[in-house]
């Protein structure tokens, strides 16, 4: 198996793609992207479910307080409750990632 250089998709890459696809200025594309991301983040802060058709679903889950153990000292410790962000890919996205046709 060849080592493939992994690249990171950044906001700048997405803004450039919007600029090329829709012929808007890079500034406007960046503003549009920022607004979309803010809407998604705001919905998640309010614990709403965010569904993006053909992509997936983001949601907030609650983890209860539980007992854990410090792996270095083996001392028991209480792990406080927290919220976690989950993502479930849509079947369409899963097929695309696996190189399957989208029929």
In-domain check, residue 30: yes
In-domain check, residue 60: no
In-domain check, residue 24: yes
Alpha carbon distance 2, 68 (integer Å): 40
In-domain check, residue 16: yes
pTM of the model: 0.77
pLDDT at 5: 73
In-domain check, residue 14: yes
Helices 11-22 and 26-45: angle between axes, nearest 10 degrees: 120
Contact 30, 11 (CB under 8 A): yes
pLDDT at 30: 96
Which residues constitute the domain of residue 37? Answer: 10-46
The total domain count for the chain is 1
pLDDT by residue for the chain (103 residues), tens digit each?
A: 455 677 899 999 999 999 999 999 999 999 999 999 999 999 999 999 999 999 999 999 999 999 999 899 999 999 999 999 999 999 999 999 999 875 5
In-domain check, residue 86: no
pLDDT at 1: 42
């Amino acid at each position: 198996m060849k080592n493939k250089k992994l690249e990171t998709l950044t906001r700048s890459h997405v803004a450039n793609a919007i600029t090329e696809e829709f012929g808007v200025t890079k500034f406007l594309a960046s503003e549009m992207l920022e607004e979309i991301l803010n809407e998604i983040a705001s919905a998640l802060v309010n614990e709403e479910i965010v569904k993006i058709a053909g992509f997936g679903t983001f949601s907030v889950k609650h983890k209860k307080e539980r007992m854990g153990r410090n792996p270095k000292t083996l001392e028991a410790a209480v792990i406080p409750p927290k919220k976690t962000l989950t993502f479930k890919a849509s079947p369409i996205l899963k097929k695309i990632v696996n190189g399957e046709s989208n029929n």
